């Protein structure tokens, strides 16, 4: 989902990451806190849930700190659809969104953060607001609206930061698990109903994973980091990959000669709309992708046309029924000030048609991310049916590797002039006008927008559940954003400024978790088993957040102590440490002998 082409000093990105594939309504509902309640017809009833304590005991010692107590018992275990012989996978993370009225402002929720900031990427037309993300009707609800929002943007003007007033016409929501829940390997499922209408273009809903070393929309954290997954020393690529395998003595607790980065796995990027595109692909459809660097620098396929034999990734790739290679986005060049720093990122991707039903009812999107030695792969499924399969040999084209970084989950709806909007803009249209104001918007504006978009808004992206399973006896399966094999905490602490935006009135990457304190008039205002005292919610038991509506969550295993410094010394080779110890011992012996001789001389 993320384009992380960086504007200087945080200004708007000018290089689009996506192109329209074609080059070429729903009734608003009443909702609490600005968000719609999903219709009951599409919801399944929750049954057989457990108390928090009983639930965790039922897991028999496996990871349970991130498991939602509202998860139905039948989902405690699952099996791989790709390799059922691999045995059972146990639930290690879930969010069922059963408690209404949860808020996701910074510090409000232990699992998610909804950002309040401009999106500088992908030629975005939206401003993200946390108020457009909440829970209602048993689902997470992300609303997208025509809601012009003005803000101050820090932009580079000949080497100086200059604040400019900008306005985005739409407002939407993005939640991310960055700095909270990350996992390496396993099975992930999202049950969701896509926003808007399948035949109306303009919205860009997504569910995706991003490496812990990068934070979406914070472009300073993604430069030379996204979407690298490369562990070889290549001197020509060294300046383009910040954490590379050529460095013998890295700082910040990183391992010697180990290439790192922040690859991206897209479970879904949906393209609503109507019409038939090249090679018979019909809208609406969704893309399932692995975005990775280094990319293929030369002889790249032409966007909109299928690659010729041997020109693109193909070894071992499998496409499911109706799925085809994504010929409308092969990746991009991430341009920087010098060619030395500029690099190519590839999107190894498949497109799969969907229908209006995916925007009207819930469907299940699954990713199987195997990190097991000898069986590594990425496999995507829709309602249990294969969409796309990728083995490691597919990446031999560039030398990139399968993802093994801790990754966090993101859910969002974007609005971009490069996604589903008429392209090229029709003659006579005000191509930079996206005005939906009033029942009859300016025709010069509307002709440059997808037909029906304004009438469809507000639109609601509803996520019924998010679940992750792993195998307890698989050593490559890990929970945590900074692990023994892939440490990140010290690097992030040493580069904190990259992960927050001071021009957005932020003073730190994440605020501490709020535990109670929300305003209330009665106990019912304060969620489960909690009380209203002196006009403030007092959380009880396993509940937290300002109104005690979120289940507590935590890592069961702490891989390292939290860093307290912003700079750490280089990793010293063991041989050098042994030599140093020997040298110190010799010097100490010589010094002791010298002192003894002096004492003997003084006595005589």
Phi/psi of residue 443, each to 5°? -55, -35
Give 3-state DSSP helix, strand, coil % of the chain, rounded to 5: 15, 30, 55
Alpha-carbon distance of 534 to 81, in angstroms, equals 53
Alpha-carbon distance of 462 to 201, in angstroms, equals 18
With respect to residue 557, please indicate whether it lies within any of the assigned structural domains: no
**484 three-state secondary structure:** coil
Alpha-carbon distance of 144 to 132, in angstroms, equals 7
Answer yes or no: are the C-beta atoms of 515 and 539 closer than 8 Å: yes
Residue 563 confidence (pLDDT): 55
With respect to residue 579, please indicate whether it lies within any of the assigned structural domains: no
HSE-CB for 30 with a 13 A CA cutoff: 0
Query: Between the CA of residue 166 and those of 141, 161, 220, what are the distances in Å?
Result: 27, 15, 20
Query: What is the 8-class DSSP label of residue 426?
Result: P
Nearest Cα to Cα of residue 169 among 421, 397, 373 = 421
Question: Which distant-in-sequence residues (6+ apart) come within 8 Å of 90 by Cβ?
Answer: 59, 62, 63, 76, 77, 469, 470, 471, 472
Alpha-carbon distance of 426 to 44, in angstroms, equals 44
HSE-CB for 248 with a 13 A CA cutoff: 3
Question: Which distant-in-sequence residues (6+ apart) come within 8 Å of 453 by Cβ?
Answer: 200, 201, 202, 203, 436
Quote the tokens at residue 575.
Answer: 């041989």
Segments of 534-587 assigned E as strands: 536-538, 543-544, 550-551
With respect to residue 597, please indicate whether it lies within any of the assigned structural domains: no
Residue 282 confidence (pLDDT): 92
Q: What is the mean pLDDT of each run of 10 residues along the chain (604 residues)?
A: 51 39 38 43 45 45 78 98 97 98 98 96 94 98 97 86 94 99 99 98 98 96 98 98 97 97 99 89 97 97 94 98 96 93 98 98 99 98 99 98 99 95 87 76 81 95 99 97 97 97 95 98 94 97 96 89 46 56 74 69 60
With respect to residue 118, please indicate whether it lies within any of the assigned structural domains: yes
Q: State the CATH number of the domain containing residue 279.
A: 2.60.120.200
Alpha-carbon distance of 128 to 144, in angstroms, equals 9
With respect to residue 595, please indicate whether it lies within any of the assigned structural domains: no
Which neighbouring-strand residues pair with 168?
149
> In which domain, by residue range, is 303 found?
8-519+546-551
Residue 125 confidence (pLDDT): 96
Query: Between the CA of residue 113 and those of 91, 178, 376, what are the distances in Å?
Result: 22, 8, 31
Alpha-carbon distance of 41 to 50, in angstroms, equals 25
With respect to residue 587, please indicate whether it lies within any of the assigned structural domains: no
Answer yes or no: are the C-beta atoms of 117 and 217 closer than 8 Å: yes
With respect to residue 525, please indicate whether it lies within any of the assigned structural domains: no
HSE-CB for 532 with a 13 A CA cutoff: 12
Measured over the CA atoms of residue 466, residue 472, residue 476 and residue 479, the dihedral's sign is positive
With respect to residue 559, please indicate whether it lies within any of the assigned structural domains: no
Which string of DSSP letters, residue by residue, matches 278-297?
Answer: GGG-BSSEEEEEEEEBS---
Q: Whole-prediction pTM value?
A: 0.86
Q: How do 478-479 and 183-184 pair as beta strands?
A: antiparallel
Residue 529 confidence (pLDDT): 84
Which residue has tokens 């700079």?
Answer: 567
| The Cα angle at residue 243 between residues 238 and 247, in degrees rounded to 5 | 65
Instruction: Count how many domains the chain has.
Output: 1
Burial of residue 301, with CB atoms counted within 10 A of its CB: 0-12 exposed, 13-18 middle, 19 or more buried? middle
Nearest Cα to Cα of residue 568 among 483, 486, 488 = 488
Cis status, amide bond into 227, omega within 30 of 0: yes
Query: Between the CA of residue 153 and those of 13, 71, 145, 166, 168, what are the distances in Å?
Result: 12, 42, 21, 6, 11
**364 three-state secondary structure:** strand
Question: Which distant-in-sequence residues (6+ apart) come within 8 Å of 339 by Cβ?
Answer: none
Furthest CA-CA distance within the chain: 111
Answer yes or no: are the C-beta atoms of 366 and 298 closer than 8 Å: no
Quote the tokens at residue 539.
Answer: 């959380």
Alpha-carbon distance of 134 to 103, in angstroms, equals 5
Which string of DSSP letters, residue by residue, matches 73-98?
Answer: GGGSEEE-SS-GGG-EEEEEEEE---
């Amino acid at each position: 989902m993320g384009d992380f082409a960086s504007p200087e000093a945080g200004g708007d990105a000018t290089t689009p990451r996506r192109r329209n594939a074609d080059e070429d309504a729903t009734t608003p509902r009443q909702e609490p806190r600005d968000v719609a309640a999903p219709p009951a017809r599409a919801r399944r009833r929750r049954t057989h849930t457990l108390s928090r304590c009983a639930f965790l005991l039922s897991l028999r010692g496996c990871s349970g700190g991130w498991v939602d107590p509202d998860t139905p018992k039948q989902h405690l275990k699952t099996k791989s659809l790709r390799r059922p012989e691999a045995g059972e996978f146990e639930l290690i993370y879930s969010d069922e969104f059963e408690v209404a009225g949860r808020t996701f402002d910074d510090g409000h929720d232990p699992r998610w953060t909804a950002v309040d900031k401009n999106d500088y990427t992908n030629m975005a037309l939206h401003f993200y607001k946390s108020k457009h993300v909440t829970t209602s009707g048993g689902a997470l609800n992300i609303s997208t609206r025509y809601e012009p929002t003005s803000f101050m943007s820090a932009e580079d003007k000949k080497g100086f930061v200059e604040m400019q007033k900008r306005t985005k016409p739409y407002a939407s929501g993005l939640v991310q698990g960055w700095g909270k829940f990350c996992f390496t390997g396993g099975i992930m499922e999202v049950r969701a109903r896509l926003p808007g209408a399948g035949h109306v273009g303009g919205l860009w809903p997504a569910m995706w994973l991003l490496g812990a070393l990068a934070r979406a929309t914070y472009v300073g954290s993604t430069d030379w980091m996204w979407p690298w997954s490369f562990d070889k020393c290549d001197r020509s690529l060294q300046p383009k990959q910040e954490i590379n395998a050529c460095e013998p003595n890295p700082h910040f607790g990183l391992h010697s000669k180990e290439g790192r980065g922040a690859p991206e796995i897209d479970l879904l990027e949906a393209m609503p709309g109507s019409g038939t595109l090249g090679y018979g692909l019909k809208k609406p459809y969704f893309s399932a992708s692995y975005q990775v660097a280094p990319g293929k620098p030369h002889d790249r396929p032409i966007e909109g046309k299928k690659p010729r034999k041997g020109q693109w990734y193909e070894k071992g790739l499998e496409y499911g029924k109706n799925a085809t290679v994504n010929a409308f986005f092969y990746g991009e060049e991430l341009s920087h000030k010098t060619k030395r720093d500029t690099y190519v990122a590839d999107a190894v991707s498949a497109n799969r048609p969907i229908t209006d039903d995916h925007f009207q009812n819930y469907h299940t999107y699954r990713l199987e991310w195997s990190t097991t030695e000898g069986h590594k792969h990425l496999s995507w499924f829709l309602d249990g049916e294969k969409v796309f399969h990728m083995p490691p040999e597919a990446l031999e084209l560039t030398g990139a590797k399968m993802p093994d970084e801790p990754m966090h989950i993101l859910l969002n709806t974007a609005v971009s002039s490069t996604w589903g909007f008429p392209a090229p803009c029709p003659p006579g249209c005000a191509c930079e006008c996206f005005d939906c104001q009033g029942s009859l918007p300016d025709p010069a504006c509307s002709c440059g927008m997808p037909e029906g978009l304004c009438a469809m808004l507000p639109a609601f992206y509803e996520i019924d559940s998010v679940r992750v399973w792993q195998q307890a006896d698989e050593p490559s399966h890990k929970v945590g954003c900074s692990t023994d094999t892939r440490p990140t905490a010290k690097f992030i602490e040493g580069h904190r400024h990259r992960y927050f935006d001071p021009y957005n009135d932020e003073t730190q990457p994440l605020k501490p978790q709020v535990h109670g304190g929300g305003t209330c008039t009665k106990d019912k205002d304060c969620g489960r088993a909690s009380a209203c005292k002196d006009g403030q919610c007092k959380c009880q038991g396993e509940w937290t957040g300002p109104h005690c509506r979120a289940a507590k969550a935590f890592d069961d295993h702490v891989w390292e102590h939290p860093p307290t410094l912003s700079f750490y010394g280089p990793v010293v080779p063991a041989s050098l440490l042994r030599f140093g110890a020997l040298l110190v011992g010799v010097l100490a012996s010589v010094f002791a002998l010298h002192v003894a001789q002096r004492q003997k001389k003084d006595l005589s």
